[in-house]
Amino acid sequence: RPKRPCPECGKPSVREHYPFCSTRCKDIDLNRWLKGAYVIPGRDDEEEEDGGPKQGPSSTDEQ
């Protein structure tokens, strides 16, 4: 596998922390994910797609 630079600081990546160069850079990236800095695009709500309420079990079905 060709070596790639660390996505955080640009230093050469290290096998133990791939694709990062250190635990520090790995933790920085994890912190960004946990704070919501990275977002995966998608739909906000399935209701918008068909205009109706979501189908699912209701509280009366469980009796």
In a domain, 61, yes or no: no
Give the CATH number for residue 10.
Answer: 3.30.50.10
Q: How many CA within 13 A on the CB side of residue 4?
A: 8
Backbone angles phi, psi at 41, to 5 degrees: -65, 145
- Which pLDDT tens digits describe the chain residue by residue (63 residues)? 678 899 999 999 999 999 999 999 999 999 999 999 988 888 877 655 555 555 666 656 555
24 to 6, 9, 20, 45: CA distances (angstroms): 11, 10, 9, 36
In a domain, 10, yes or no: yes
Total of domains in the chain: 1
**Model confidence, pTM:** 0.58
